[in-house]
Amino acid sequence: MPSIFSRIVAGELPAYKVAEDEHHLAFLDITPLVEGHTLVIPKREVDYIFDLPPAELAALHLFAQRVAAGVRAAVPCKRVGVAVIGLEVPHAHIHLIPMNKVADMNFANPKIKVDERRMNELAAAIGAQVPTVVAGTPAMPTDPRDTKGGRETVEASEPEVHAAHTDKAAPGPENDAALAPLRELTKGLSYVSEADAPLEPVSFAAPAGGLTDEALAKLAGVAAGTPVERQELTYFLRNHTADDGVTGSAETANRFKQLQMYMKQELSGSQVYRFGQGPQVPVLVLGEGEGGRLLGFKTVLTET
């Protein structure tokens, strides 16, 4: 039997909708703890939120982030609290609750009654403030090749025309649709060592012989025979993902965390490759996307 949320998705039951995309829906809770209490759900019915595949779980939270921005802009509050309970409705959902004090998040509190007129006002006000993209998160795909399923469909019907960026016949990063999320995630970010170096998204066709040191050196544009050191991504970004780390900015640290999550969950086998020794060490961070294409970013580590 479909859950009550699935019936809302199907249009069988009404809801005070706030935001929607192809895979997600947000609407006001009709028994809220406070005004503006919003529920965010995947349209696909899955009972337990942590049974969602990693990519779907990440996408749900990115959608919730956008909705939370709308809630915070439309409803006076200090923060938007987040809760996952999952005992009342067998359909994964996230609670977004405007809060001015911790007690506002207490689900033992009596539920409030909000009349229909006010609920409509709240839904419209929040919906009007939900951004298309929250700064630092991947853009919502508009080209079918921006999604894994879409790329697979398109690539099956088109001849292979991609190659490494050094190939003049290949599309550069600005024209590679698969790079859209990485362009957004890396925008304005720099790797901080003894000097700052921007993160630049990259896309390569997988070398025929695999990621040998020789093939990696060619992708990085360094001399053949340059020593290659492999490093785990979490370790490489450890100082940048710590809230009190080298960036000195919690907002920037969160953006690095989002980038790290994307590389580890959306791409397979993400790995850091460092070439040679100081003072300037080129770095490639690559993972495998659909069709075996290599995606990631490059930067430079300064060591003197």
The CATH number of the domain where 274 resides is what? 3.40.1460.10
pLDDT of residue 131: 87
pLDDT of residue 176: 64
* CATH number of 12's domain: 3.30.428.10
Residues 6+ apart with CB under 8 A from 100: 76, 77, 78
Say if residue 225 is in the same domain as residue 150.
yes
Say if residue 285 is in the same domain as residue 166.
yes
In a domain, 139, yes or no: no
In a domain, 282, yes or no: yes
Cα 9 from chain centroid (whole Å):
23
pLDDT of residue 134: 54
* Segment 69-79, tens digit of pLDDT: 999 999 999 99
The stretch 53-78 carries a mean pLDDT of 94
Say if residue 165 is in the same domain as residue 286.
yes
The stretch 93-112 carries a mean pLDDT of 94
In a domain, 240, yes or no: yes
Average pLDDT, the chain: 84
- Higher-pLDDT residue of 106 and 153 is 106
In a domain, 135, yes or no: no
- Higher-pLDDT residue of 140 and 236 is 236
Say if residue 83 is in the same domain as residue 215.
no
Say if residue 116 is in the same domain as residue 237.
no
- Higher-pLDDT residue of 162 and 114 is 114
Which residue, of 98, 129, 160, is where some domain finishes? 129
pLDDT of residue 179: 86
Say if residue 93 is in the same domain as residue 215.
no
The stretch 46-74 carries a mean pLDDT of 94
Total-model pTM: 0.47
CA angle 146, 147, 152 (to 5 degrees): 105
284 in Cβ contact with 301 (< 8 Å): no
Say if residue 197 is in the same domain as residue 149.
yes
CA angle 221, 223, 263 (to 5 degrees): 40
Which residue, of 129, 154, 184, is where some domain finishes? 129
Residue tagged active-site, from 24, 93, 162, 165: 93
Report the domain count for the chain: 2
pLDDT of residue 295: 94
In a domain, 154, yes or no: yes
Q: Are strands 190-192 and 200-204 parallel, antiparallel or unpaired?
A: unpaired
In a domain, 134, yes or no: no
Say if residue 124 is in the same domain as residue 238.
no
Low-confidence winner among 129-133, 215-219, 263-267 (lowest mean pLDDT): 129-133
* Main-chain dihedrals φ then ψ at residue 197, nearest 5 degrees: -135, 130
Domain of 210, in residue numbers: 144-302
Say if residue 35 is in the same domain as residue 163.
no
91 is catalytic: no
pLDDT of residue 60: 96
Which residue, of 95, 129, 163, is where some domain finishes? 129
Say if residue 167 is in the same domain as residue 52.
no
Q: Calculate helix-pair angle for 116-129, 54-74, nearest 10 degrees.
A: 110
Rounded Cα distance, 198 and 66, in Å: 26
* Segment 126-181, tens digit of pLDDT: 999 998 765 544 443 333 333 444 444 333 433 333 333 333 334 444 446 778 88
Say if residue 148 is in the same domain as residue 297.
yes
